[in-house]
Amino acid sequence: MKIKIEHADITTLHTDAIVNAANSSLLGGGGVDGAIHRAAGNKLLEECRLLNGCETGKAKITKAYLLACKHIIHTVGPIWNGGNKNEAQLLTNCYKNSILLAEKHKLRSIAFPNISTGIYGYPKKQAAIIAVNTVKQQLLNCKYLEEVNFCIFDNENLELYKKLLK
């Protein structure tokens, strides 16, 4: 199993699934969520309307439509409230449930953005530690998943992930 870092736009990746750091409506928004919805086209919005939203920490899967990947796994990260409202467990669940869903669908590769570190305000270093540790732990139980890509958009996160994955 391989874990890698890619400094790229997640909407351009050729992988079995990309993870969308979605809001609970799953109907698009800002940041990664908005970029994925714009790049995938209107059919994604139509399918997401049928999913009736998603709870924080959970994950749901859709087709990828106009994207280079095959599927989109939508997960809702926690909004940072100082760390005292179960944020760490909820963020852990985002990574865990996304990987479980990838396994359920027998996917071989998945790419994650930096969940909750944008407008949701999760401290980047804490989020990176949770992401790396959770992915490593989950990969121990995977039968199908062979590659996890941390798709990094900004330089601060890029340096954090390089240090954590040395």
Architecture of domain 2-164: 3-Layer(aba) Sandwich (3.40)
Model pTM score: 0.97
Strands 17-22, 71-76: pairing is parallel
C-alpha distances (whole Å) from 143 to each of 19, 107, 136, 139, 166 are 19, 10, 14, 9, 25
Q: What is the pLDDT of residue 77?
A: 98
Q: Name the token pair of 51.
A: 């999913």
Residue-level pLDDT, tens digit, the chain, 166 residues? 799 999 999 999 999 999 999 999 999 998 899 999 999 999 999 999 999 999 999 999 999 999 999 999 999 999 999 999 999 999 999 999 999 999 999 999 999 999 999 999 999 999 999 999 999 999 999 999 999 999 999 999 999 999 999 8
So which residues are the catalytic ones?
A: 33
Domain segments of the chain: what residues? 2-164
| Closest listed residue to residue 14, CA positions, set 91, 57, 87, 67 | 67
Q: What is the pLDDT of residue 22?
A: 97
Q: Which residue is listed with tokens 């909820």?
A: 90
**Residue 147, phi then psi, degrees to nearest 5:** -140, 130
**Residue 16, phi then psi, degrees to nearest 5:** -65, -40
Q: Which residues on adjacent β-strands are paired with residue 63?
A: 71
Q: What is the pLDDT of residue 1?
A: 77
Cβ(54)–Cβ(76) below 8 Å:
yes
Residue 75 CA to residue 113 CA, distance in Å, equals 11
| Closest listed residue to residue 99, CA positions, set 132, 50, 135, 57 | 135
Contacts of 111 (CB under 8 A, 6+ apart): 6, 10, 13, 15, 17, 18, 19, 69, 148, 149, 150, 151
